[in-house]
Amino acid sequence: MIQLGIKVDVDTLKGYTEGVPRLLDLFGKYGKRVSVFFSFGPDNSGKAIRRVFRKGFLSKMMRTKAPSTYGFKTLLYGTLLPAPMIVPSAPDIFKRAVDEGHDCGVHSWDHVFVQDKLYKLTKEQFEEQYDRAAELFDKLSGKFPRSYAAPGWQVSKASLSVIDERGLKYASDSRGTSPFLPVVDGEEFRTLQIPTTLPTMDEIIGLPFVDDNTMIEMWVRGMSNEWNVLTIHAEMEGMSKLNVLEKLLQSCESEEVDIIALDDIAAAAKAKRCEVKSGEIPGRAGTLAVQADGLVAL
Ligand SMILES: [Zn+2]
């Protein structure tokens, strides 16, 4: 049977307070357990505008209709408006996801800061970012996180070594084809990577021939592995595209694709060592962490 691991990234206050409850309702309705990675600290989404000089950023903003997807206020947080705190603004939403048995993990403390600056953060600076999120996770749920998913699929030797030291069950920081133990410039790390294998909605939305229906077909036909991972965003699939996600869940049911959480994949994974490189993904601006033995073709 084909399996699909669903990974939910929560990046913004709006995605957290409005998208996550709807996603939890939907997964509850279909009886599905998934992985949810939270940004805990400040929503500095407005600062992402610095990426405007990056190739492909503006066209992505237009394709994904960013202002209506994220909300106008969100695009000003951290610049013209102060950055609001995400999980502390409504801790019960996070607690609900934990109580409902989902595989919850850390996405970030400050998403925009880590995504944009990771390449120059020292190990101590990354540690501070990770630990602030992990401590709030523990304070609210009574347990430390067992998984991490890097903002914007960015890794560094510093981030990988902190994740190793925290003894996590797995991390999902990269794009690729199969679970692996990462090697960067010859340095080996021991935390299992469960890469995202399918293109995300914001990478394919608005492309020629891609609409809400063909997108689902692309995903279902793109599941070439025994198991696959799709990253969805609370801001998109949890809000204006919730109907597309529901149709995907229905398609998976009729195609006998089993929806699972990433910790289920980690538990069964036989990992090999694999190099992580900086690469590009169609539809995404800038570079990200890519498993060296290639990507699933779109
Ligand atoms: Zn994110």
Q: CA 107 to CA 101: how far, in whole Å? A: 18
12: CA distance to ligand 1 center in Å?
Answer: 8
Beta pairing partners, 259: 4
DSSP string, 209-263: T--HHHHHHHHHHT--SSEEEEEEETTIIIIITHHHHHHHHHHHHHTTEEEE-HH
DSSP 292: T
* Distance from C-alpha of 253 to C-alpha of 125, rounded to nearest angstrom: 44
Q: How far is the CA of 20 from the centre of ligand 1 (A)?
A: 14
Residues in the chain: 298
Residue 88 CA to ligand 1 centre (angstroms): 18
Find the 25 Cα to ligand 1 centroid distance in Å: 21
For residue 110, report the distance from its CA to the centre of ligand 1, in Å.
10
pLDDT, position 53: 65
| H-type alpha helices, the chain | 13-14, 20-29, 57-63, 66-70, 91-99, 111-117, 123-141, 157-165, 201-204, 212-221, 242-254, 262-268
CA 13 – CA 16 distance, rounded (Å): 5
150 C-alpha to center of ligand 1: Å?
Answer: 7
CA of 235 to the centre of ligand 1 (A): 10
Ligand 1: distance of its center to the CA of 115 in Å?
8
In the 8-state DSSP scheme, what is residue 1? -
Distance 285 CA to ligand 1 centre (A): 14
Q: Are 51 and 285 in contact (CB under 8 A)?
A: yes
* Residues within 5 Å of ion ligand 1, judged at the Cβ atom: 9, 11, 151
Query: Distance from the CA of 80 to the center of ligand 1, in angstroms?
Result: 22
Residue 10 Cα to ligand 1 middle (Å): 6
- What is the structure's pLDDT at 27? 98
pLDDT string in tens for the chain (298-residue length): 899 999 999 999 999 999 999 999 999 999 999 999 999 999 999 887 777 667 677 777 777 777 777 788 888 888 888 899 999 999 999 999 999 999 999 999 999 999 999 999 999 999 999 999 999 999 999 999 999 999 999 999 999 999 999 999 999 999 999 999 999 999 999 999 999 999 999 999 878 888 998 999 999 999 987 889 999 999 999 999 999 999 999 999 999 999 999 999 999 998 899 999 999 888 888 899 999 975 444 3
What confidence score (pLDDT) does residue 60 get?
74
The Å distance, Cα 11 to ligand 1 centre, comes to 5
Compute, in angstroms, the gap from residue 190 CA to the centroid of ligand 1. 23
pTM: 0.93
Instruction: State the distance from the centre of ligand 1 to the C-alpha of 40, rounded, in angstroms.
Output: 11
> Ligand 1 centroid vs 234 CA: distance in angstroms?
9
What is the C-alpha to C-alpha distance for residues 149 and 158, in angstroms, rounded to an integer? Answer: 15
Distance 107 CA to ligand 1 centre (A): 7
* CA separation, residue 4 to residues 38, 238, 240 (Å): 20, 18, 22
Residue pair 57/154 in contact (Cβ under 8 Å)? The answer is no
Question: Cα(17) to centroid of ligand 1, in Å?
Answer: 15
Distance 189 CA to ligand 1 centre (A): 23
